[in-house]
Each structure stands twice: as structure tokens, then as C-alpha cells.
């Protein structure tokens, strides 16, 4: 189930809430690369990705305010792409 939330974050560029085994703390992360047994992610306020093993993540869930409804964000994504195309 953890991998599915990480894939959701990667596919839709949305943060997910994860519990790390090493610190036993929750963090909101946005996945930038998911490969094999590793994941590279960004946290709020950080510009360089951090890499860790997927085994270090005990649980994952939607970030606060996100219900996983990707259809709702599809129109916003289209509008954002159209604005970037105009520039």
C-alpha cells in the first residue's frame, strides 16, 4: 500500500504523508523518482531531493486536505499547462 501512495505522489505531483522508521515522525513528501527499492523525494522548503529506501517508510496516506480525487485536479492541470504555453 505504501508503494501505491508513493506512485500517486509521483504521477500527480501531490504530497503524501509518510511515517519514517528511522525517526518515527510523519513528514509530507512529494516523490520525484521511484525506482526499485528506493525513492527520491522533496519536503517543504527543500530544493534538492533526498533518497531513501522504501523499507524505511512504515506507512503512507494522503496529505491533509487531499482526498485522492484526481479528476477534480485534472481541469486545474489543463489550465496550468495552457498558461505555461502562452508564456
pLDDT per residue over 29-69, tens digit each? 999 999 999 999 999 988 999 999 999 999 999 999 887 77
The mean predicted confidence, pLDDT, of the chain is 90
Tell me what pLDDT residue 54 has. 95
How far CA 19 is from CA of 23, 48, 69, in Å, comes to 8, 20, 22
Tell me what pLDDT residue 61 has. 94
d(CA 50, CA 68): 24
For 16-20, 51-55, 56-60, 80-84, which range has the lowest pLDDT when averaged over its residues?
80-84
Q: What's the pTM?
A: 0.80
Domain count along the chain: 1
d(CA 4, CA 60): 9
- 81: domain CATH number is 2.30.30.100
Residue among 75, 60, 64, 56 at smallest CA distance from 10: 60
Tell me what pLDDT residue 39 has. 97
Domain residues for the domain of 61 are: 2-86
Amino acid at each position: 500500500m505504501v508503494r501505491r501512495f508513493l506512485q500517486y505522489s509521483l504521477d500527480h505531483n501531490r504530497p503524501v504523508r509518510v511515517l519514517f522508521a528511522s525517526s518515527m515522525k510523519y513528514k509530507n513528501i512529494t516523490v520525484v523518482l521511484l525506482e526499485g527499492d528506493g525513492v527520491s523525494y522533496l519536503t517543504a522548503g527543500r530544493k534538492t531531493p533526498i533518497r531513501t529506501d522504501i523499507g524505511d517508510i512504515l506507512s503512507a496516506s494522503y496529505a491533509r486536505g487531499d482526498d485522492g480525487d484526481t479528476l477534480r485536479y485534472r481541469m486545474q492541470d489543463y489550465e496550468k499547462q495552457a498558461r505555461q504555453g502562452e508564456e
